[in-house]
Chains A and B, each alone.
Chain A
């Protein structure tokens, strides 16, 4: 009993409130918001009952008259929500299928009832049937330095169709589940002219934006359930014979999600001081090693090329196949991967998802950009890092698929998705996430961004690119950077390394790629080899033939067929093996490289090292007088063999 008393006292001292430090010695972020939640999972009702105490500190110099909170779960209330209107489909009609959050009580710290003051607002599109954002006009406006502390009792019913969050049978993934403060942005922050709350509705094509917070969460679940969260487990105690309560603590993260399922097997590993916890279905144990390798590689790469991972813990959740809707999502110190039973080691999908989702710990976890408004800053930048990591650790040409007959790099998938999209010029990256028309969100946000970042790396080099990310981390970790802040970092770093080599700044690059919709296409249009005065002249008096003074002229003809202008390398190869490197600023529509006195040109290549990944057609980047047809003949041989075997196998 005495021992128990000391343990409880110790735990209480650890979880001594959201203002004290438990995980890191010093706070990594300003304490703007904090949440203490007592949550109880009701597996039968598929709901979570919560009592929450939360605060928001007005750290601005402005007086704020209201508070705004997200009620994300209401997106799953009916097909009339903004989320479902945009995505199509329906959460279902049955009460057990739909998801919603019901606020039972809402008071201020001094006991003022806020419930009558709650009003649903629709800041994005005035969609009155949406109920994912509430506003409370404060009885007393919050002055600079004031803390608005609230106490909310709520019940969150989880939806049956898992779209990041929800349940299936006894599996639960509990995300976007509690009333959560928006971000108050004072004038001058990001693109703000006047201060105000940034609290968008829950859209189909959007994610989230939050202040870094401290979470103290107690979770009560039936004893057989295995729980995973983005926090650090401080303690566990029995409530009764059938239930247990776990105390979790998380610091400086932008969201707190958790999962509970009796079918998880738990594995742990360590990378330096980071404790890695993996929750995976018991039947999928052959994937454990792959997941640990993937995250360790990612930690190593980010640590070296971006910045240190500042938490001593991370949790990977690999959900079961029948709950795959929860897979591939990030909550900073907890993320969900997506492997499959018996997925072959040559297909690196589980690794790719793990690398990508962990990467979000940096790109919007630490560098907390606004995913609603500038989705390229998290998904696009993170895809770029993911592709570099995949191709670095799993093979330059086989980062994604490594079969004997087919190898595909992760980066090439992005480039193909962008370059071959019919909608690649419809919209730029400079768009709110829900405004992307006809299915362009994924292609523009993920793939186009990654492709232009590769192009940037092709121009400024890998070392300078890594320096950009290190500097970006240094300046903006645990803050809210905007797109222009990232551009400024690039400008400063490039200037520092290269001076004026690329002009006074790199805005010319971002104007074309980030803010533009043009395409890049450089092509070789011809090779001309001919002799000036090639004729043999006959001497009239002697009757002898004599060669007149002649000179070989060879020309490489190039064209800029696209709108985008990048400096490109040109490599000209002559029949005697001589090669000449040219640097073309890429500006003019046509460019001839003319050589006198050289041998004939055998081939010409624009961008021979494929640095300009935005070029939408790499076939026309080169031309040769002697094309190698061996691969084509081999291709045709293999097609013939395949078809012969096919018809012989499928007929009797």
Chain B
């Protein structure tokens, strides 16, 4: 019951913080545009005034891309470098903005205040970055232990039964997804605790995150799984839509851009929903302050 209460409350909180989510979306758009637009420029230069673009109407054409020659190599290099740089930058930006977002989600009543959003972002930046790095490292090591090591083992044994590596891979990934949600929950609890705490304290936040995750495991973990499932289905749907839709007119392309950005905004809302639900669940499980408890009695 608590789970659904928390999910419902998380939903309301995230919708209330739509401006914060808008900030999230806008910064992400600016960041990735810094990678995507130069790539477009490179392709534009490479294709020049060629009429070959008609071969690109039905999607990527490997021959055209490869005939860009040196430019295509640069394009791929730029893409992967851009991917890495955006990831690293986003790590910092995400740590900064989630500080504000968690802050605006901590109450069901308070209205969204932009000034307070950025103040909280700045205040919580370092502990949030610390939480991200520590939990991120744990998740990375877990991936090595739970996926890479068993796969390496099973491949090196050269088992004639070819279904075994496949089965091990599916089991490893499934298990990793389950275990990783525990650590995501730890991070969310830790951040929810941090925004309530005036002073930045990374390790106390993490301690809280771990203790609350495991002390309230039966209520929190299923909630995380529900959220994960909905988010995953949404992402798959989005990839399907964006992947298949190949508009061939200027208006169509603009429509694709609008749709993809709306979907991406929804994706951020879903993330905020998770933050809000965990915050709400934390509050539901917190012992009431003495004064409030007295009033209720």
In this assembly, does B16 line the interface, its C-beta being within 8 Å of a C-beta of chain A? no
Are the C-beta atoms of A640 and B59 separated by less than 8 Å?
no
Are the C-beta atoms of B28 and A618 separated by less than 8 Å?
no
Which of B121-180 touch A at CB < 8 Å?
131-132, 135-136, 158-163, 165-166
Q: Which residue of B lies closest to A412 (CB)?
A: B63
Are the C-beta atoms of A624 and B40 separated by less than 8 Å?
no
- Do A644 and B264 form a contact, CB below 8 Å, given A617-B67, A650-B87, A651-B90? yes
Q: Which of B29, B44, B52, B135 has the most CB of A within 10 A?
A: B52
Q: State in angstroms the CA–CA spacing of A628 and B166 once bound together.
A: 45
Q: State in angstroms the CA–CA spacing of A639 and B65 once bound together.
A: 15
- Looking at chain B's contact residues, the main secondary structure is helix
In this assembly, does A419 line the interface, its C-beta being within 8 Å of a C-beta of chain B? yes
Are the C-beta atoms of A632 and B28 separated by less than 8 Å?
no
Binary CB contact string for chain B from 243 to 259 against chain A (1 if under 8 A, 0 otherwise): 11011111011001100
Nearest CB of chain B from residue A246's CB, rounded to whole Å: 22
- Taking a contact as CB atoms closer than 8 A, the residue among B58, B160, B166 that contacts A322 in the complex is B160
Q: Which residue of A lies closest to B188 (CB)?
A: A652
- Do A629 and B160 form a contact, CB below 8 Å, given A416-B63, A618-B52, A624-B51? no
Stretch in contact with the other chain, from B31-39, B196-204, B215-223, B279-287: B31-39
Q: Which of A341, A620, A643 has the most CB of B within 10 A?
A: A643
- Do A406 and B29 form a contact, CB below 8 Å, given A169-B160, A625-B49, A630-B253? no
Are the C-beta atoms of A643 and B158 separated by less than 8 Å?
no
In this assembly, does B213 line the interface, its C-beta being within 8 Å of a C-beta of chain A? no
Q: State in angstroms the CA–CA spacing of A408 and B65 once bound together.
A: 12
Are the C-beta atoms of B53 and A644 separated by less than 8 Å?
no
In this assembly, does B187 line the interface, its C-beta being within 8 Å of a C-beta of chain A? yes
In this assembly, does A634 line the interface, its C-beta being within 8 Å of a C-beta of chain B? yes
Which of A248-266 touch B at CB < 8 Å?
263
Nearest CB of chain A from residue B183's CB, rounded to whole Å: 9
Q: How many residues of A contact B (CB 8 A)?
A: 62
In this assembly, does A277 line the interface, its C-beta being within 8 Å of a C-beta of chain B? no
Are the C-beta atoms of A652 and B163 separated by less than 8 Å?
no
Are the C-beta atoms of A171 and B160 separated by less than 8 Å?
yes
Q: Cβ of B226: which chain A residues have Cβ within 8 Å of it?
A: none
Q: Cβ of B188: which chain A residues have Cβ within 8 Å of it?
A: 652
- Do A632 and B160 form a contact, CB below 8 Å, given A639-B39, A652-B187? no
Nearest CB of chain B from residue A37's CB, rounded to whole Å: 28
Q: Which residue of A lies closest to B260 (CB)?
A: A641
Q: Cβ of B233: which chain A residues have Cβ within 8 Å of it?
A: none
Are the C-beta atoms of A629 and B60 separated by less than 8 Å?
no
Are the C-beta atoms of B87 and A322 separated by less than 8 Å?
no
- Taking a contact as CB atoms closer than 8 A, the residue among B37, B49, B69, B250 that contacts A624 in the complex is B49
Q: Cβ of A627: which chain B residues have Cβ within 8 Å of it?
A: 47-51, 53
Q: State in angstroms the CA–CA spacing of A405 and B252 once bound together.
A: 17
Q: State in angstroms the CA–CA spacing of A169 and B158 once bound together.
A: 9
- Do A652 and B82 form a contact, CB below 8 Å, given A169-B160, A624-B49, A636-B36? no
Are the C-beta atoms of B64 and A619 separated by less than 8 Å?
yes
Q: Which of A281, A625, A628 has the most CB of B within 10 A?
A: A628
In this assembly, does A415 line the interface, its C-beta being within 8 Å of a C-beta of chain B? yes
Are the C-beta atoms of A638 and B162 separated by less than 8 Å?
no
In this assembly, does A565 line the interface, its C-beta being within 8 Å of a C-beta of chain B? no
- Taking a contact as CB atoms closer than 8 A, the residue among B86, B162, B263 that contacts A320 in the complex is B162
Are the C-beta atoms of A644 and B160 separated by less than 8 Å?
no
Q: Cβ of B250: which chain A residues have Cβ within 8 Å of it?
A: 630, 633
Q: Cβ of A639: which chain B residues have Cβ within 8 Å of it?
A: 32, 35-36, 39-40, 79
Stretch in contact with the other chain, from B106-114, B234-242, B288-296: B234-242
Q: State in angstroms the CA–CA spacing of A624 and B53 once bound together.
A: 10
Q: Which residue of B lies closest to A608 (CB)?
A: B51
Q: State in angstroms the CA–CA spacing of A84 and B270 once bound together.
A: 58
Nearest CB of chain B from residue A289's CB, rounded to whole Å: 17
- Do A648 and B267 form a contact, CB below 8 Å, given A632-B43, A640-B32? yes
Are the C-beta atoms of B163 and A341 separated by less than 8 Å?
yes
Are the C-beta atoms of B159 and A322 separated by less than 8 Å?
yes
Q: Which residue of A lies closest to B133 (CB)?
A: A652
Measured as residues with beta carbon below 8 angstroms from the partner, the interface class of chain B is 35 or more
Are the C-beta atoms of A342 and B87 separated by less than 8 Å?
no
Which of A168-222 touch B at CB < 8 Å?
168-169, 171
Q: Which of B62, B159, B248, B260 has the most CB of A within 10 A?
A: B62
Are the C-beta atoms of A623 and B90 separated by less than 8 Å?
no
In this assembly, does A7 line the interface, its C-beta being within 8 Å of a C-beta of chain B? no
Nearest CB of chain B from residue A145's CB, rounded to whole Å: 51
Are the C-beta atoms of A640 and B33 separated by less than 8 Å?
yes
- Do A635 and B43 form a contact, CB below 8 Å, given A419-B67, A643-B86, A652-B187? yes
Are the C-beta atoms of A651 and B132 separated by less than 8 Å?
yes
In this assembly, does A645 line the interface, its C-beta being within 8 Å of a C-beta of chain B? yes
- Do A647 and B87 form a contact, CB below 8 Å, given A412-B62, A622-B51? yes
Q: State in angstroms the CA–CA spacing of A629 and B43 once bound together.
A: 10
Are the C-beta atoms of A652 and B135 separated by less than 8 Å?
yes
Are the C-beta atoms of A263 and B160 separated by less than 8 Å?
yes
Q: State in angstroms the CA–CA spacing of A623 and B49 once bound together.
A: 5
Q: State in angstroms the CA–CA spacing of A263 and B160 once bound together.
A: 8
Q: Cβ of B264: which chain A residues have Cβ within 8 Å of it?
A: 641, 644-645, 648
In this assembly, does A452 line the interface, its C-beta being within 8 Å of a C-beta of chain B? no
Q: Which of B39, B66, B260 has the most CB of A within 10 A?
A: B66
Q: State in angstroms the CA–CA spacing of A619 and B55 once bound together.
A: 10
Q: State in angstroms the CA–CA spacing of A249 and B135 once bound together.
A: 66
Nearest CB of chain A from residue B79's CB, rounded to whole Å: 8
- Do A652 and B63 form a contact, CB below 8 Å, given A619-B68, A645-B238? no
Are the C-beta atoms of A408 and B62 separated by less than 8 Å?
yes
Q: Cβ of A290: which chain B residues have Cβ within 8 Å of it?
A: none
Are the C-beta atoms of B32 and A624 separated by less than 8 Å?
no
Q: State in angstroms the CA–CA spacing of A652 and B94 once bound together.
A: 8
Are the C-beta atoms of B46 and A619 separated by less than 8 Å?
yes
Are the C-beta atoms of A635 and B50 separated by less than 8 Å?
no
Q: Which residue of B lies closest to A322 (CB)?
A: B158
Q: Which of A320, A342, A640, A646 has the most CB of B within 10 A?
A: A640
Q: Cβ of B193: which chain A residues have Cβ within 8 Å of it?
A: none
In this assembly, does A129 line the interface, its C-beta being within 8 Å of a C-beta of chain B? no
Q: Enumerate the 3 nearest inter-chain pairs by beta-carbon distance, A residue then B residue, closest first.
A: A631-B56, A643-B32, A322-B158
Sample of 21 A–B contacts (CB below 8 Å): A283-B163, A284-B162, A341-B163, A405-B60, A416-B62, A623-B49, A624-B51, A627-B48, A628-B57, A631-B53, A636-B39, A636-B40, A640-B29, A640-B36, A641-B263, A641-B264, A648-B271, A650-B87, A652-B94, A652-B187, A652-B188
Residue ranges of A at the interface with B (Cβ–Cβ < 8 Å): 168-169, 171, 263, 281, 283-284, 320-322, 340-342, 397, 404-408, 412-413, 415-416, 419-420, 603, 605, 616-625, 627-641, 643-652
User: A627-B53, A630-B247, A651-B132 known; 18 other A-B pairs, CB under 8 Å?
Assistant: A281-B160, A406-B62, A623-B51, A624-B51, A630-B252, A631-B53, A631-B56, A632-B47, A632-B53, A632-B56, A633-B40, A635-B40, A636-B37, A641-B260, A641-B263, A643-B36, A647-B90, A652-B94
